[in-house]
Amino acid sequence: MVKVGDLTQYSRSVNTVVKVISKTEPRDVTSRADQSAHKVCEALVADDTGSVYMTLWDEKIDELEDDSVIGITNGYINLFRGSIRLNLGRYGSYEVLEEAPFEDVNLDNNLSSKVFEQRDRYGGRPPRRY
């Protein structure tokens, strides 16, 4: 189990317990791969060490409610516009728990409010042009 305050932009296989604080309004997006329509929103989740935005897609948006406590298994961190986001992805999951293993949440340490430098897909250098 990892605490939210210990997450970095390179965190993988994230197993943690968090409380859902709030969700943004869902917005419609179109997949670049196959042009399919999806809904996406962000949920602010927190534990006693910090908070982070978690990306929710399609049916997951309605499954989670404010003040829910969830156990996340095999999540990962990515950067969206230079900001950390917690994701479940294809292999991650969550389950709703009865109670949190912490008393209070720490909203002052919001990891998503920090800006990180994003590397491109080519390891920081532009692609070769021939």
Question: 15-36, pLDDT tens digit by residue?
Answer: 999 999 999 999 999 988 899 9
Residue 124 has pLDDT above 70, yes or no: no
74 domain residue, yes or no = yes
Residue for token digits 């179109």?
A: 30
99 domain residue, yes or no = yes
44 domain residue, yes or no = yes
Tally of structural domains, the chain: 1
Confidence category of residue 64, pLDDT binned at 50, 70, 90: very high
- Which stretches does DSSP call E strand in 8-50? 14-23, 27-30, 37-46
32 domain residue, yes or no = yes
At residue 89, the pLDDT reads 87
Can you give the pTM of this predicted structure? 0.85
- 122 vs 80, higher pLDDT: 80
Cα separation of 67 and 94, whole Å? 15
Question: What is the phi/psi pair of residue 62, to 5°?
Answer: -80, -20
Q: Which two tokens stand for residue 54?
A: 């978690």
Which CA distances in Å does 89 have to 12, 23, 101? 11, 18, 25
Q: Tell me: the pLDDT tens digits for 66-121? A: 999 999 999 999 998 889 999 998 899 999 999 999 999 999 999 999 887 766 65
Query: How many CB atoms lie under 10 A from the CB of residue 79?
Result: 15
Q: What residue numbers bound the domain in which 90 lies?
A: 4-103
| CA atoms 63, 106, 101, 12: torsion sign | positive
Query: How many CB atoms lie under 10 A from the CB of residue 50?
Result: 21
Question: Is residue 70 classed as helix, strand or coil in its secondary structure?
Answer: strand
84 domain residue, yes or no = yes
What is the CATH classification number for the domain harbouring 99? Answer: 2.40.50.140
121 domain residue, yes or no = no
| Amino acid type, 112 | S
125 domain residue, yes or no = no
